[in-house]
A and B are shown apart, each in its own frame.
Chain A
Amino acid sequence: MDVTLSRRRFLKISSAALGWSVAGGTLGKISPRASAANATNGGIETIPTYCDMCFWKCGAIAYKRNGKLWKIEGNPEDPLSRGRLCPRGTGGIGAHYDPDRLRAPLMRKGERGNEQWVQVTWDEALNFIADKMQQIKAEYGPEAVALFSHGIGGTFFKHTIKAYGSPNIAAPSFAQCRGPRDTGFNLTFGEGVSTPERTDIRHARCLTLIGSHLGENMHNTQVQEFSEAIQNGASIIVVDPRYSIAASKAKYYLPIKPGTDMALLLAWMNVIVNEELYDKAYVKKYGFGFEAFRAEIAPYTPEWAYPETTIEPDLIRATAREMAKHKPASLIHPGRHVTWYGDDAQRSRAIALLNALLGSWGRKGGFYSPVSMDVPSYPYPPYPPSEKGKVDNPHEKYPYAHGHGALTTGIRDATITGEPYPVKGWFVYATNLINALPNEKETIEAIQHLDLLVVIDVIPSEIAGWADVILPESVYLERYDELNVEWFRDPFIALRQPVVESPHNQKPNWWIAKKLAEKLGLSEYYPWNHIEEYLDYRLKHAGYSLAEIKKKGIITGAKQPIYFDEGVPDEFYTPSGKIEFYSLQLKEKGFDPVPKYTPPDPPPPGFYRLLYGRAPVHSFGRTQTNPLLADMMDENSVWIHVDIARRYGLKTGDTIRLKNQDGVLSNKVKVLATERIRTDCVYLVHGFGHKNKMLKRAYMKGASDAELITRYKIDPLMGGTGMNVNFVTFEMEA
């Protein structure tokens, strides 16, 4: 019986004829949704697209009422959102209506960083940029222009910069975010975790989160699956110095001393190996170097880990046994933003090894093997080869630094030193480098060496304040973008298409990148006139068409095997072809073949370790002026344990400033005196404390964790910047 159908029919009749007072039928669960197809109905029009409020790219359906953008819902056909967006996605219409948006191209007048602008035409702006780029190319070569980019919207800028001849393309998502994780997993399994993470949270019988605050961190599919795991009665183990939302769902909460996660991981592995709780058949079949690994971890008993982590040995044993009990559907979540302490690739490798002991890689409830649809890329002419090569990592200083192109911080270093060769132009697309990279002083210093700084964004971020030229981009609801051909548990293609017009003189990224290429004499790299031709070409060569995908926004493919026991080949792309419990390649390069523990530096007296994280209603520093999301949260507070707050005479709502170990003082920020955090650290939600005056709504609201991050520890394997190594004290406001 189809309850949904009968109920709907019943309701239709009863409410039309008699009203609801006589309704006595089944009011069961219903999940009614508008049809995903473009539809007009009583002034209501629906257009499917995919979200850009973060990088997760959920399928969405935008509603217009009488021609005006009204609301956005999830697209039920989309495997990522499954018909439900996260709060940022739901608040996405605020990006279109945001009064603080960039409206027209701006060129700097006066000193760089003075934030004095003249409005110019697109032609003037692009001519200026193209001329500068040609000058840079003539004097220093094309490699002297670098691109920093975040998200799928950067696709065409990458294309233009490659066509121009530069390989220096970087994203903070590697060295300032998930690079260490993918490095650690690669070294172990021969593959990274990627995005969306290949974590089978939905089927996990035991889920362990280490600093990963799902629920505050709203990667939609993961949060949905987290909830499913809770519903299914999975055991949740949460390790966090802060009693996170996830911690409140946990069977076991481990309030770890910050910076000691590696000690806990080693102790867990020690217990699981010593008590012979690991998946023996799996380790025997797939493992390389297990005996050497066993010997290496022998000293790391729970008693050894206790003084480091402050976690009782009994609790370490109980949680190790709990995760082993549910193997292989026992998932130690690899996290995402893992640039914490500078040994992050090795910590991530320890997480990978723990998963390997539990046999979760390739297994249901562990890590599945993602699949994708085959959509051929557009046949462009080959890019000119670079004579000099990338600038960011001379002499392979960081041997595993090849994630998403170049290292952001490596380009910054080269810009400052001119070594191995000068960098004179920066393009910055949709990433606020002032906040995304640690130690903003270095970023500002690097900017002084530039002949050209172009920022392309939807809002005027802090980096835009330093630009020579700011180019205003249309928000996602106003533009086409590259297709999202996702690697996920279900194969699909998603389309982003315009829902409404841009309100001012903003332009889509593809238009800007193409126009710039034309002005650079690179027209042959854009043989299409409009992105619709490009999209249609790609789709036709996959057996579909733009007209077809425009209707539902999504094309899904047939189910494919995603676990070993469904027929996924059990192959590992490591040098040994096996899961590397002991890594010879690390040993050869002078690194620990099995991870080791280094204790964190203690805070100076009177200082507290600064930790930061996410709020569910904001993405990075990009949403604080969105009227809907700012209405949910328009400033952050500093979380301080009640006992510490009391010691300073502070209570919730008091205003203070934070001062870090180098004397950097934050904006004013409110205190949250709470039981929900350890006494040796404080916590800020990232993305607040904006200092660009053009961000009127967010200007000086709350404190920026980023500006207090003046120190960072570089990961010797892959060049990531560990940022949880700063300490703050409190300055009372008179």
Chain B
Amino acid sequence: MARLAMVIDTKKCVGCMDCVVACKTENNVPEHLDRDWLVYETRGKFPTLHMEIRSERCNHCDNPPCVYCCPTGASHVHDFGGVVLVDYDKCIGCKACLASCPYDARFINPNGYAEKCTFCIHRTEKGDDPACVAVCPTHCMYFGDIDDPNSEVSRLLASRNHHALLPAAGTKPQIYYLT
């Protein structure tokens, strides 16, 4: 079984938002809405500061509350790599998933359905990287199968310190941040 995940090197990320722009053009994301976004987390007092920059999106959780709470089965875990997806035809726009997601990864498309990052499944199924990964000028994002110990993502997780977001939520998020 493949388990697709994203590994993002916060040491290389400059927070330029290219990943956001690329997602918007690739997926025709409506104006003022984003499937991915940047977080710049600064700690300390000037000039002794530390900043972590993170490109964030749906965590394609292994334990996805958005899927469990969906009344129509529109939100589901895809066969391919555990990717969490929304079947737009089944979605009634009830927003239960928006409320359940601890990462605020979803929004309602003006056409009435819940939308979020798809790991660019139309690209990744063909073997391409997601648009955000492919565009990044710093090469700070990596995409692949963490069930395969030889994959680049597995090797990075094995060799570098990392964390995921809100582990206490119990969602088992699949976006990993190298620190």
Contacts and interface: CB of A to CB of B under 8 A. Distances in A.
A73 B46 contact: no
A243 B49 contact: yes
A363 to B, nearest CB: 25
Contacts of B167: none
Nearest to B33: A631
Contacts of B17: 87, 616-617, 632
Interface string B153-178: 10000000000000000000000000
Interface stretch (B90-98, B109-117, B126-134): B126-134
A28 interface: yes
Contacts of B53: 245, 248
B16 A255 contact: no
A11 B127 contact: yes
B125 to A, nearest CB: 5
A242 to B, nearest CB: 10
B150 A24 contact: no
Contact of A617 (B21, B45, B134, B137): B21
B132 to A, nearest CB: 10
A73 B18 CA distance: 11
Given A27-B151, A73-B134, A675 B49 contact: yes
Given A20-B79, A84-B137, A224-B139, A245 B21 contact: no
B52 to A, nearest CB: 8
A86 B47 contact: no
Contacts of B26: 71
Given A33-B134, A90-B18, A616-B15, 10 more contacts: A7-B127, A26-B148, A26-B151, A27-B153, A86-B16, A224-B138, A231-B12, A255-B47, A631-B24, A674-B42
Interface size class of B (residues with CB under 8 A): 35 or more
Contact of B21 (A7, A90, A216, A243): A90
Contacts of B45: 675
Interface of B: 1-2, 4, 9, 11-12, 14-18, 20-22, 24-26, 31-32, 42, 44-47, 49-51, 53, 78-81, 125-129, 134-140, 142-145, 147-148, 150-153
A116 interface: no
Given A27-B4, A27-B144, A628-B24, A220 B79 contact: no
Interface string A524-548: 0000000000000000000000000
Q: Which of A19, A24, A30, A70 has most B Cβ within 10 Å?
A: A30
A41 interface: no
A86 B135 CA distance: 8
Given A84-B135, A87-B16, A632-B21, A29 B142 contact: yes
A227 interface: yes
Given A23-B81, A675-B46, A12 B14 contact: no
Given A21-B79, A29-B142, A617 B16 contact: yes
A150 B179 CA distance: 41
Nearest to B146: A27
A231 to B, nearest CB: 6
B126 A15 contact: yes
Interface residues of B, dominant DSSP: loop
A428 interface: no
B144 A28 contact: yes
Interface in A645-687: 674-678
Contacts of B136: 84
A247 B44 CA distance: 14
Given A21-B1, A23-B81, A255 B151 contact: no
Contacts of A30: 127-129
Q: Which of A85, A227, A230 has most B Cβ within 10 Å?
A: A227
Nearest to A254: B47
B24 A21 contact: no
Contacts of A433: none
Interface in A442-483: none
Nearest to A70: B25
A32 B126 CA distance: 10
Contacts of A215: 14-16
B46 A31 contact: no
A675 B134 contact: no
Contacts of A317: none
A680 to B, nearest CB: 12
A8 interface: yes
B136 to A, nearest CB: 7
B151 A227 contact: no
Given A26-B151, A90-B21, A90-B25, A245 B127 contact: no
A27 B143 CA distance: 8
Contacts of A496: none
A507 B11 CA distance: 44
A23 B2 contact: yes
A248 B25 contact: no
B47 A31 contact: no
A313 B32 CA distance: 48
Q: Which of B45, B51, B137, B144 has most A Cβ within 10 Å?
A: B137
Nearest to A229: B12
A424 interface: no
Nearest to B22: A90
A31 B145 CA distance: 15
Given A28-B151, A28-B152, A249 B11 contact: yes
B125 A15 contact: yes
Q: Which of B25, B136, B151, B153 has most A Cβ within 10 Å?
A: B25
A616 B14 contact: yes
A86 B144 contact: no
Given A27-B151, A628-B25, A676-B42, A19 B14 contact: no
Give 4 nearest A-B pairs by CB, closest first: A20-B80, A215-B14, A27-B145, A227-B138
Interface in A244-273: 245-249, 253, 255
Given A15-B126, A675-B44, A90 B80 contact: no
Nearest to A19: B79
B84 to A, nearest CB: 14
B32 A631 contact: yes
13 contacts: A15-B126, A30-B129, A33-B134, A70-B25, A72-B25, A73-B135, A84-B134, A84-B136, A216-B14, A248-B50, A631-B31, A674-B42, A678-B46
Contacts of B9: 231
A72 B49 CA distance: 36
A154 interface: no
Contacts of A28: 144, 148, 150-152
A568 interface: no
A640 B17 CA distance: 23
A616 B125 CA distance: 31
Interface in A79-96: 84-87, 90-91, 93
A627 interface: yes
Contact of A243 (B51, B140, B153): B51
Contacts of A85: 18, 135, 137
A218 interface: yes
A91 B22 CA distance: 8
Contacts of A522: none
A419 B80 CA distance: 74
Contacts of A675: 42, 44-46, 49
A248 B16 contact: no
A223 interface: yes
A521 B31 CA distance: 49
Nearest to B49: A243
Contact of A227 (B81, B126, B140, B148): B140
B18 to A, nearest CB: 4
Given A15-B125, A87-B16, A631-B31, A24 B25 contact: no
A70 B22 CA distance: 11
Contacts of B140: 227
Contacts of A175: none
B20 A255 contact: no
A617 B24 CA distance: 14
A146 interface: no
